[in-house]
Structure 1
Amino acid sequence: MQVVIGRIGRAHGIRGELNVDIRTDEPERRFAPGSSVVCGTRTLTVASARHHGGRLVVAFKEVPDRTAAEKLHGTVLEAVVDPDDTPDDPDEFYDHQLVGLEVRSDTDAAVVGTVTGLVHLPYQDTLTVEVDGREVFIPFVTELVPVVDVAGGFVTVKDVEGLLDPTRAENAASDLVGD
C-alpha cells in the first residue's frame, strides 16, 4: 500500500537537491537518509534531507544534478507502508484507514454518508464523502470532524448548515439575502 508523503517542488541549487512540499506528519521518518520513496514509476533513495527557509530540501541518490532534478518538478512522492501499519501519533491517519468509514452526524449519530477518499491540499486535507449519490468535500479539521474512530468504522461530522447538503447552504444564503 502506498501513501502520499510529498510533492516535488523546484530544484534547489546545482547538485540535484529538490524542495519538497511535505504531505506527511512524519517527515523525519519518511525522508530519513537511506529510506526509499516512490516517485512516479521510479523508486528513489533519500541521500539527505534538511530544512532550509521553511522548506524541506531533499537529495536523492538517483538524482545527480539540477537537470535531472528539474524533470521531477510536480511529481508526487509516496511511501510504501504495510496496510496494518499506523502512524506514531494517535491523531494521525493514513488515507486507506479512512476510506470506507461511515460518516455520522454529531447531532443524532445518524449515518449520512461514506468516506470515499481524501484530497491533500496545501493547507489542509479534505475528506471526500458520498452523500445520497453526491460527492461532498469536508475540510478534515477537528472543528468539523471531531471524532475519528477507525476501529469503530466511523467519523463524526458537525451538523453545520450546508456542509453535507449544498442545497441547504444555497437556501440559507438566499434566506439571508431576502430572496
Structure 2
Amino acid sequence: MAEQQAAPLVVGRVVKPHGVHGEFVVEVRSDSPDRRFVAGTVLGVVRKAGGGGPESSLELVAARWHAGRLLVDAKGISSREAAERLRGALLTVNREELEKLDDPDEFHDYQLEGLAVRQPDGTVLGSVAEVVHTPAGELLGISLEEEQHEALVPFVNDIVVEVSLERGILVIDPPEGLLDRF
C-alpha cells in the first residue's frame, strides 16, 4: 500500500483584491508571516469549491504590510480581475517545508490539532480542534465531548500544564468556569 502524503498546511487565505495591478489582501494563518510570505516563495493554492480551477501554486513577487493587512503580489497575477479570481483561496505549504523548532515549548499548529485533551487527574475532556491566533496570544479551540460545544482556552503555562506529542495528549488545568457554555 502506498504511503499517503500529509495534507498541506494552510498559511493564509486570500481575502480580496487590492488596487488595480493584481495585488491582494491575505488573512495570515501562520506564526511566521515574515518568513512565509517573502519574494520567491512558492505557495500552494486551493481554490474554494466552484472557484474555477484546480489546485495550483503561486510564486510570490513581494509582500508588504499596509494598515495592519498583508498585501501580496504574485507572479502571473497582474490585474484586479485575476486577483478577484483568487478570492477565498487557501494558501498552503507542505509540512516538510516548515522550519524545525528549537524550543521544546513551541509547536506548529498542526502538531496540536487533534491532540486528546485531559485534566491532570486523567479525565478526558475532548480534543484540540484548532489553534486561534490573536494579538493577545494563542487560544486553543477545544472540542468538548460531554458538553458538545467548543471552548477557547488560552495557551499559557498556568492552564496548559503538559503537551506530549509522543503520547498524543495535552493536559489542561482550567480555572473554574473556563469550559462552561455561555
Taking structure 2 as the reference length, the TM-score comes to 0.72
Counterpart in 2 of 1:76?
90
Counterpart in 2 of 1:2?
8
Counterpart in 2 of 1:65?
79
Render the CA deviation track for 1:105-152: whole Å, top value 9, x for unaligned: 1xx341423425316476655424352483533335326435433345
In 2, distance between residues paired with 1:86 and 1:114? 28
Correspondent of 1:115 among 110, 124, 127? 127
Correspondent of 1:159 among 168, 174, 177? 174
Q: 2:172 corresponds to which letter in structure 1?
A: V
Q: How does 1:1-179 map to 2 (within 5 A)?
A: 1-40=7-46, 41-82=55-96, 86-87=100-101, 90-105=104-119, 108-118=120-130, 120=132, 125-132=139-146, 134-142=148-156, 144-164=159-179, 166=181
How far has the Cα of 1:89 moved from its partner? Answer: 5.9
In 1, distance between residues paired with 2:176 and 2:31? 31
Larger radius of gyration: 1
Q: 1:30 corresponds to which letter in structure 2?
A: R
Structure 2 unaligned spans of 5+? 1-6, 47-54
Give the length in aligned residue pairs.
165
Structure 1 unaligned spans of 5+? 171-179
Q: Percent identity?
A: 33
In 2, distance between residues paired with 1:96 and 1:153? 12
How far has the Cα of 1:160 moved from its partner? Answer: 3.2
Taking structure 1 as the reference length, the TM-score comes to 0.73
SS in 2 for 1:148: strand
More helix by share: 1
How far has the Cα of 1:17 moved from its partner? Answer: 0.6
Q: CA RMSD in A?
A: 3.0
User: Structure 1 residues 56, 84: closer, same or farther in 2, change over 3 A?
Assistant: closer
User: Structure 1 residues 146, 62: closer, same or farther in 2, change over 3 A?
Assistant: farther
In 2, distance between residues paired with 1:129 and 1:83? 29
How far has the Cα of 1:159 moved from its partner? Answer: 2.8
In 2, distance between residues paired with 1:83 and 1:13? 31
User: Structure 1 residues 91, 72: closer, same or farther in 2, change over 3 A?
Assistant: farther
Q: 2:155 corresponds to which letter in structure 1?
A: V
**Which runs of at least 4 in structure 1 moved beyond 2 Å after TM superposition?**
83-96, 99-102, 113-117, 119-141, 143-154, 158-166
Q: 2:129 corresponds to which letter in structure 1?
A: G
